[in-house]
């Protein structure tokens, strides 16, 4: 028997009945989708604000290098 199947069987016996029922339901859905060749595993979305406190964004972030960028588009002698 596949080790994954063995592990799942062991866990289903250990879990509370309502948790085991939810697990069975999810696995049944996955198997059904895989049988129809429609199984798509979505990527986990990135949580907004997950980097809060870990990085610093300068106050002039939106206007940094504005003059230099403008000079690139319009030339340096623009007034």
Q: Is residue 42 part of a domain?
A: no
Render pLDDT for 10-41 as a digit per residue (tens, 0 to 9): 999 999 999 999 999 999 999 999 998 888 88
At residue 77 the predicted structure's pLDDT band, cuts being 50, 70 and 90, is low
Integer Cα distance of 49 and 39 in angstroms:
30
pLDDT averaged over the chain?
Answer: 88
**Number of domains observed in the structure of the chain:** 1
Tokens 């690139």 found at: 72
Token couple for 59: 């106050």
Q: Is residue 49 part of a domain?
A: no
Query: From CA 62, how far away is CA 1, in angstroms rounded?
Result: 59
Write out the residue range of the structural domain in which residue 18 sits: 3-35
Residue 58 counted as domain residue: no
- The answer to whether residue 10 sits within a structural domain is yes
Q: Which residue has the tokens 């106050």?
A: 59
The stretch 59-78 carries a mean pLDDT of: 86
Beta strands (DSSP E) in the chain are: none
What is the biggest distance separating any 2 CA atoms in the chain, rounded to whole angstroms?
A: 78
pLDDT of 31 reads 92
């Amino acid at each position: 028997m596949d080790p994954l199947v063995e592990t799942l069987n062991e866990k289903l016996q250990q879990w509370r009945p309502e948790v085991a029922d939810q697990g069975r339901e999810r696995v049944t859905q996955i198997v059904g989708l895989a049988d129809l060749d429609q199984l798509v595993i979505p990527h986990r979305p990135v949580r907004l604000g997950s980097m809060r406190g870990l990085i610093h964004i300068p106050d002039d972030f939106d206007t940094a290098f504005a003059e230099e960028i403008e000079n690139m588009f319009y030339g340096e002698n623009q007034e």
